[in-house]
Amino acid sequence: MNAPDIPPDTPRQTPPGTSPSGVTLRSMVSADIAAVHDLERRLFPVDAWPLQMFIDELAQAETRHYLVAEASGAIVGYAGLMCIEPIADVQTIAVVPAQEGRGIGSALLTELIRESRRRRAADVLLEVRADNPRAQQLYRRFGFEQIHVRRRYYRDGVDALIMRLQLQAAENPPAGDTPSNTNPANTPHQTPHQTTPRETGQA
C-alpha cells in the first residue's frame, strides 16, 4: 500500500504529544539533505551514507518515509523507513550526542512504527549491534524480538542482531526513553542500497 500523497517538499508534522518538549518531528524534505548528511558524516565517520543516497531515498516516497527532529531551529536527529508490504525496515535512526537522553530517538521510532501501520506492514525489522545492550533493551520494550544473528556483519567485526516487531501483536510503545543511534539497513529483506548499519551513542 502506498503512503498518502504528500508533496515532496511539504513537511508533515507528527501528531501533538509524540515528541519531547521543544522538539518537533516532521517529514524530511530535500532542503534538509545537506544538514542531515553533515550530521551523518559526524555520527558515522567510518561508513556514512553518501549524499546521493539520501537524495535517492527521499525520491522514493512510495516506499520510503524519512523524518527529522528539530530543536531551536536545528536538525538534531533523523530516521528513515522502507516499507514494501508486508515488511517495513527501519533504515536509520540517529540523534546528535548533545540531545541524547531526551527521548528523541524513542519519538522517532514511535513515528516509524506508526507509519508502518499506516502502510499496512505486518512486521517491522531492524538491525542492532550485538555490543549495544541499551539499544536492544529499548527495542524489546517496544516489542521487538531477536530473530537472527549476522556474524561479524559490521566493519569492525561486531555481530548484527536482527530484530522484528510483529505489528498485529504489538502493544502501545513505551513513552520517553532513548534508543541508540542505529542504521539498520540490509535486514533479511534487502534494500536496493547495500549499506552497513551504523551506531553511535545513545539517542
Going from the N-terminus, what domains does the chain have, and what CATH number goes with each? 23-202 (3.40.630.30)
How much is the pLDDT for 44?
84
Residue 38 has pLDDT above 60, yes or no: yes
Lowest-confidence range among 41-50, 79-88, 112-121?
A: 41-50
H-run or E-run covering 83: strand 74-84
Condensed to tens digits (0 to 9), the pLDDT of residues 131-155 reads 989 889 889 999 999 999 999 988 8
pLDDT at 183: 53
Q: Return the higher-pLDDT residue of 187 and 94.
A: 94
Average pLDDT score over residue span 181-190: 43
In 3D, which of 132, 70, 144, 134 has the Cα closest to residue 107? Answer: 70
Rounded to the nearest integer, the mean pLDDT of the chain is 80
Is residue 35 predicted with pLDDT exceeding 70?
Answer: yes
**Is 110 in contact with 165 (CB distance < 8 Å)?**
no
**Residue-level pLDDT at 191:** 37
**pLDDT tens profile 99-125:** 988 899 999 999 999 999 999 999 999
Structure confidence at residue 170 (pLDDT): 57
Q: What is residue 45's predicted lDDT score, i.e. its pLDDT?
A: 81
* Contact (Cβ atoms closer than 8 angstroms) between residue 114 and residue 65: no
The span from the CA of 162 to the CA of 148, in Å, is: 5
Do 37 and 54 contact (CB within 8 A), yes or no? yes
- What is the arithmetic mean of pLDDT over 3-16? 37
Does residue 88 surpass a pLDDT of 60? Answer: yes
CA distance 146 to 161: 7
pLDDT at position 187 over 90:
no
pLDDT value at 180 more than 60: no
Q: What is the pLDDT of residue 21?
A: 87
pLDDT at 27: 96
Q: Can you tell me which residue has the cell 528523541?
A: 104
What pLDDT does residue 154 have?
Answer: 84
| Mean pLDDT score, 184-199 | 39
pLDDT at 3 > cutoff 50: no
